[in-house]
Amino acid sequence: MRYWGAALAVAAAALSGCSAGEVEPAPAPPSSSAGATADDPEADPDPARAALALVPDDATTLAVTDFDQVRLELGAALLTGASAPAEREAFWRRAIAQAPLLSTGVLRPSDARLLRDYGFAQDDVAWEASFTGPSGEGWLAGLREGLDLTGVRRAVADGVGPLAGGVLDEEARVLAVGAAPDEGASWGAEPVLVELVGGAAMSTYVERGCVSPADPALDELDELDELEAWSVSLGALLATVRLGADRGDAFARVRLAEPPFAQGVADPVSGRLGYAMTDPALAARRILARDAPFAACAP
């Protein structure tokens, strides 16, 4: 499994040695071989990193779902648009019920036409991202290796369904609607945001600023510092929140989480919080609803 099993084991060990209510620092999750790192600049970037260079600089939120990882975790790594309909339907039932999806597939409503007339479908999407901001909404889709792009090119030209107004970068194999005109005008040019992503995850969510707390009377709110931006990466078992380095409020923030986020650990130096997830699908829905107490605004 490519996820941070080691980090989860460390978190469990730390918790087992703590008395009730204590929270011990958690080490930073190890880098994944799937993600670009400072030690491996030639590696292909993971989906969240790849998306940053296309997200307009005035966007406020980014939600990325790595469908290749989801398929791998659910035992459907070889699934494509050419797979049997029953197999594809079974995958989506399981994925929606069990996986931490931040998208259920922007192309899925047009699958029948795309398959019939253009030879590809949602199950040929390796990863997907959506973003929102003052300039409007947009989305990105990385296409799987080996897919013939001839049909994709025609579908974009015909403006089929969500592809209306879209652009296909054939070299990068990425479909984009509303993307930044260049990397210099994107999130990829902002170090604060770049540092919040990286490594393998089923889904990654990034937001500028903070989230208003559900309960403004919580004692921990008095201990919070300002929050410029935050992210959460959702795996099969573990959620990792990144707040930026040197967070003196890490312990206060980790205590704010509610189910399905459980067994929280914190590392003030790296600014990371780690949680086990009792229900990954519910965790994703809460994040999409911006129901993230650990990212609460300081009073």
Residue 100 belongs to what domain range?
A: 65-185
Nearest to 186 by CA among 135, 231, 143: 135
Q: Is residue 196 one of the residues assigned to a domain?
A: no
Q: Is the CB of residue 84 less than 8 Å from the CB of residue 220?
A: no
Q: In the listed set 139, 169, 185, which residue is the last one of a domain according to the structure?
A: 185
Q: Is the CB of residue 30 less than 8 Å from the CB of residue 200?
A: no
Q: Is residue 45 one of the residues assigned to a domain?
A: no
Distance in angstroms (rounded) separating the CA atoms of residues 195 and 149:
33
Does residue 259 sit in the same domain as residue 159?
no
Does residue 180 sit in the same domain as residue 69?
yes
Q: Is the CB of residue 177 less than 8 Å from the CB of residue 138?
A: yes
Full pLDDT tens readout for the chain, 299 residues:
333 333 444 443 333 333 333 444 333 333 332 333 333 444 467 999 999 999 999 999 999 999 999 999 999 999 999 999 999 999 999 999 999 999 999 999 999 999 999 999 999 999 999 999 998 899 999 999 999 999 999 999 999 999 999 999 999 999 999 999 999 999 999 999 999 999 999 999 999 999 998 777 788 899 999 999 999 999 999 999 999 999 999 999 999 999 999 999 999 999 999 999 999 999 999 999 999 999 999 98
Alpha helices in 119-249 (DSSP H): 150-158, 191-194
Domain count, the chain: 2
Q: DSSP of 235-249, one letter per residue?
A: -SSEEEEE--S--TT
* Cα separation of the two ends of the chain: 40
Nearest to 286 by CA among 270, 251, 262: 262
Q: Is residue 41 one of the residues assigned to a domain?
A: no
Q: Is residue 100 one of the residues assigned to a domain?
A: yes
Q: Is residue 202 one of the residues assigned to a domain?
A: no
Cis bond before residue 260 (omega within 30° of 0): yes
Does residue 99 sit in the same domain as residue 180?
yes
For the whole model, what pTM was predicted?
Answer: 0.86
Q: Is the CB of residue 64 less than 8 Å from the CB of residue 203?
A: yes
Does residue 104 sit in the same domain as residue 163?
yes
- At 208, the amino acid letter reads R
